[in-house]
């Protein structure tokens, strides 16, 4: 594998992580710290984006977007979304005695992430040119 691919993944991950951090700070300022909105929103948006990117690249493997797959999918989406922070926030809510909030966060997150990824995939497929039968 070329060093350029590693560099692309690293750059994408750095940009995605920085954007996620800014989103978390913004959500704290706007919505408060009672619920981890920033991580939830970042994971839903990132799931939608990765679903759209993966479906688009799979249908156009020689397309322009496919060249940027390491940067966008492994790098940006990998850095922007975070399961580890979700886990930490869930544990933190439980330790604070907010077990029901933690449970709600856990139960709401996975369906939202999967639904967003499916929506992104569907949008990419919808945007594909239709064959002339």
What confidence tens digit (pLDDT) does each residue in 39-64 have? 999 999 999 999 999 999 988 888 88
Q: Is residue 31 part of a domain?
A: yes
Torsion sign (Cα): 13, 18, 21, 26: negative
Domain that holds residue 101: 3-126
Residue 59 CB partners (closer than 8 Å, separation 6+):
124, 125, 128
> Residue 45: how many CA atoms within 13 Å on its side-chain side?
13
Q: Is residue 15 part of a domain?
A: yes
Q: Is residue 133 part of a domain?
A: no
Compute the mean pLDDT over every residue in the chain, rounded to the nearest whole number: 91
What pLDDT band is residue 133 in, cutting at 50, 70 and 90? very low
pLDDT tens sequence across 1-22: 699 999 999 999 999 999 999 9
Q: Is residue 132 part of a domain?
A: no
Q: Is residue 52 part of a domain?
A: yes
d(CA 36, CA 28): 8
Q: How many domains are contained in the chain?
A: 1
Q: How many residues in the chain?
A: 133
Q: Is residue 48 part of a domain?
A: yes
What pLDDT band is residue 84 in, cutting at 50, 70 and 90? confident
Q: Is residue 39 part of a domain?
A: yes
3-state secondary structure of 33: coil
């Amino acid at each position: 594998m070329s060093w350029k691919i590693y560099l692309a993944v690293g750059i994408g991950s750095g940009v995605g992580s920085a954007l996620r951090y800014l989103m978390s700070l913004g959500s704290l300022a706007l919505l408060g710290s009672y619920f981890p909105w920033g991580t939830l929103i970042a994971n839903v948006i990132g799931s939608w984006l990765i679903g759209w990117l993966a479906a688009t690249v799979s249908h156009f493997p020689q397309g322009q977007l496919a060249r940027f797959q390491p940067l966008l999918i492994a790098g940006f989406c990998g850095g922007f979304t975070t399961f580890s922070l979700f886990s930490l926030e869930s544990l933190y809510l439980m330790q604070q005695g907010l077990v029901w909030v933690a449970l709600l966060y856990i139960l709401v997150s996975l369906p939202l992430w999967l639904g967003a990824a499916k929506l992104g995939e569907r949008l990419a497929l919808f945007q594909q040119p239709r064959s002339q039968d």
